[in-house]
Amino acid sequence: MASDRILTVPNILSFTRLVLAVVFFVAFEQHWHVPAFWLFVVAASTDCIDGWYARRFGQVSRLGRIFDPLVDKVIVCGGYVMLASAGTAIAPWMAVVVVVRELMVTAIRAEMEKAGCDFSAAFSGKVKMVLQCVAIALVLAERAWPGMTAGGIGVAEMAHWASWAAVAATVWSGLEYLVAARPLVRP
């Protein structure tokens, strides 16, 4: 059951992630690629912590159910838009796919919750989020440390493949949410 509490550890972590996202955007815009990389990694990492903490210690709140996914969308959509506009492995059309999926799922979630249906994040949504964050982190790493390799593979090549994997997971997850929302359109 979600509570009406506002000042919970998970909500504070979500707020911190939002602040880190804004600082990340500024750092990237200023071409401070190493700090931008670390800001993104820290911000994205707190997403796992706040959800676990909320469930583990009974701090699930109504605000958190709205605020946490909103902050996720800010950092991921913002990251995709910024990186796509900078001419990276993330193409502009990929950013559009990510943003459209997030808007669609937000609308579906609002309608499902209004109808009294549970619309918690599906496994595909979690996979999508991880792959999107990996893609963003790899693109940022390539900007921060050009020419870097890991295991004989260039980070730029890894960023390319991670970007495609993230888009595939984004489409998969979006389709899964559409199927889950069928009760909304049935008479």
Per-residue model confidence (pLDDT) at position 118: 66
Using one digit for the tens of pLDDT, what is the confidence trace for 148-162? 988 889 999 999 999
Identify residue 108 by its one-letter amino acid code: I
For the chain, what is the domain count? 1
Q: Which residue has the higher pLDDT, 50 or 185?
A: 50
Q: Has residue 67 been placed in a domain?
A: yes
Model-wide pTM > 0.85: yes
Q: Hey, is 55 helix, strand or coil?
A: helix
- Residues 6+ positions from 134 with CB-CB distance below 8 Å: 162, 166
Using one digit for the tens of pLDDT, what is the confidence trace for 99-151? 999 999 988 888 887 877 766 778 899 999 999 999 999 999 999 999 998 88
Per-residue model confidence (pLDDT) at position 4: 76
Q: Has residue 69 been placed in a domain?
A: yes
Per-residue model confidence (pLDDT) at position 138: 97
Please give the residue range of the domain that contains residue 155. 9-185
Using one digit for the tens of pLDDT, what is the confidence trace for 31-78? 999 999 999 999 999 988 988 888 888 888 888 888 898 999 999 999
Instruction: Return the CATH number at 148.
Output: 1.20.120.1760
Half-sphere exposure of 173 (CA within 13 A, CB side): 29
Q: Has residue 76 been placed in a domain?
A: yes
Q: Which residue has the higher pLDDT, 9 or 183?
A: 9
Q: Has residue 174 been placed in a domain?
A: yes
pLDDT mean over 153-178: 95
Number of residues in the chain: 187
Per-residue model confidence (pLDDT) at position 116: 74
b/e per residue, 49-71, with b = 16+ CB within 10 A? ebbebbeeeebbbebbbbbbbeb
Integer CA distances (angstroms), 128 to 5, 74, 93, 123, 153, in order: 29, 15, 17, 9, 23
Q: Has residue 45 been placed in a domain?
A: yes
Q: Has residue 1 been placed in a domain?
A: no
How would residue 1 be classed by pLDDT, with cut points 50, 70 and 90? low
Q: Which residue has the higher pLDDT, 23 or 181?
A: 23
CA angle, 145 then 151 then 154, to 5°: 40
Report the run of H or E that residue 153 belongs to, with start and end: strand 153-154
